[in-house]
Amino acid sequence: MGRSPKNHRPDLNGVLVIDKPLGLSSAAVCRAVRRATGGAKVGHAGTLDPLASGVLLVCLGSATKMVDRLMAGEKRYLADVDLSAFSTTDDMEGEAVVIEPARVPDRASIERACAAMVGEVMQAPPAFSAVHVGGERAYKLARRGERDSSIGAPDLPAKPVVIHAMDILAYDWPALTLDVRCGKGTYIRSIARDLGRALGTGGRLSGLRRTRVGPFTIDDALTMDALEHFDASMLREMPV
């Protein structure tokens, strides 16, 4: 394993709350922060996929030791769900399987299905995810399964996660927007998939924006453009 890059700014310790844009990886944001700060030690608390936007916490200096504590905090998302299809990736990237339900669910039916998913529930991660299966990332196994049907997608065991709340913000078949509050390890793609199964429809994530991690909200977040004018006053203290 290679050494961590040297910390050229030991004076910078704290949290940068970044509004990660679509199309950019969490690692790319960390690289941009390191450049903007002149080589500070950085690490992010909770990956956001390139197809998701919103709150990404980038820890600097001594705050990098607290990444696990930040990741354990409650998270909040705005999730757009397409109920017309499932997909191999549980989002818009994978091959779609269009579903024609026996009946289009009304809002009351969706509210009941959402309520049934609140609390401590068992959730299987998406086949295309970063969880380890026999020492290998699940998405690597799934990609091999796409090339060789004899392998197939990995069968990932369900694990307990906590969903604190799921509220409907908008619904116009087949588009559904949810406000989700959840704990560590919850996959919003899996929520979309499992909701579709419960409703007898499809279910894949069509858009995702994280609006809060622990005490830090999207209102606290800096744009990537703001990093061009980085100042130590932008750093937030670690929560007690």
Q: Which positions are catalytic? A: 49
CA end-to-end distance (rounded Å), the chain: 33
How far is 217 from 224, CA to CA, in rounded Å?
A: 16
Token readout for 172 is: 């116009």
Residues with Cβ within 8 Å of residue 132, at least 6 apart in sequence? 138
Name the CA dihedral angle for 35, 37, 42, 47, rounded to a multiple of 10 degrees: -70
Token readout for 97 is: 């399987």
Token readout for 39 is: 């080589």
How far is 108 from 58, CA to CA, in rounded Å?
A: 40
Look up tokens 């919850």; give the residue. 186
Using DSSP, state whether 181 is helix, strand or coil.
strand
How far is 155 from 126, CA to CA, in rounded Å?
A: 9
How far is 136 from 181, CA to CA, in rounded Å?
A: 29
Strand partners, 167: 179
